[in-house]
Amino acid sequence: MTAATRLISRLTLVTGKYMQWIGRAVCQRLASEGASVVVADISEESANETMVGLQNDLRGQGHMAAVVDVSSKESVKKLVTRIQPPSVCVNAAGITQDHFLLNMEEDHFDRVIQVNLKGSFLITQAVAQALVACGAPKGSIITVGSIVGKVGNLGQVNYAASKAGVEGLTKTAVWDSCNCVLPGFISTPMTEKVPEKVIDKSLVPLGRMGEPEVADVCVFLSSDDSRYITGSSIEVTGKL
């Protein structure tokens, strides 16, 4: 099978929060390799907008948009039971609600944990249960963490804690193929909110903010090329 069609006939589920940049790029790259993509977002408009832009001319392809609140077990269960068990799942839903530790509101801390960490848990659990129940021979679950979960970042105690948890969750799950991607500072609407003084590009040897190259790593981890990799964290940070 050529690299361009590594995911022919595979159903993939991608979750996002107002699907932009990383989540959307992941959907596009998966579709370009032949996958059928379920675009799951809390915003129906955003999910549909992503879906209509996906390549759909490869054998057996068929995409769909779905609404899901990843922080709700009921919503996640409804989504997973609605579709066939996906052989690939990418947890890309995430939010930020930044503030300094001394001034952070408890509900801002809780909401970030609910979406980023609890959401990854609920999606990972539901997909793994569905695959086991149907006797699927294999499956690939990918979580999107952050380098901030390893090194911390000013004003992001909630986000850093949630993403550290996502990495720990992934390493502990190790179900068939379960891996975590750790983006650095990627050019997204989320990082546009981060003050310039916080993002020191001099710390990045490649000398630039990342583009959604994270999607390329997700495709690799979704394919048989990564069949001997599980429980791993792969940094996409522009660092040596």
3-state secondary structure of 118: helix
Cα–Cα distance, 23 to 186 (Å, whole number): 12
Give helix 119-133 / helix 73-82 axis angle, nearest 10°.
40
> Tokens standing for 123?
């999606």
Alpha-carbon span 224 to 159, nearest angstrom: 32
Residue among 109, 159, 185, 220 flagged as catalytic = 159
Residue 57: the pLDDT is: 86
Average pLDDT on 30-35 reads: 96
Q: How far apart are CA 178 and CA 185, in angstroms?
A: 23
Average pLDDT on 56-77 reads: 94
The neighbouring-strand residues paired with 183 are 236
Per-residue pLDDT tens over the stretch 5-26 = 799 989 999 999 867 778 999 9
Q: What are phi and psi of 204, to 5 degrees?
A: -110, 105
Predicted confidence at residue 153, as pLDDT, reads 87
pLDDT of residue 106: 97
How many residues make up the chain in this entry? 240
Give the alpha-carbon dihedral of 203, 233, 218, 38, to 10 degrees: -120
What is the rounded radius of gyration, in angstroms, for the C-alpha atoms of the chain? 17
Neighbour count for residue 13 (Cβ, 10 Å): 27
Mean pLDDT along residues 54-80: 94
159: annotated active-site residue: yes
Q: Which residue has the higher pLDDT, 197 or 76?
A: 76
Structural domains of the chain in order of their starting residue, each with its CATH number: 11-185+213-236 (3.40.50.720)
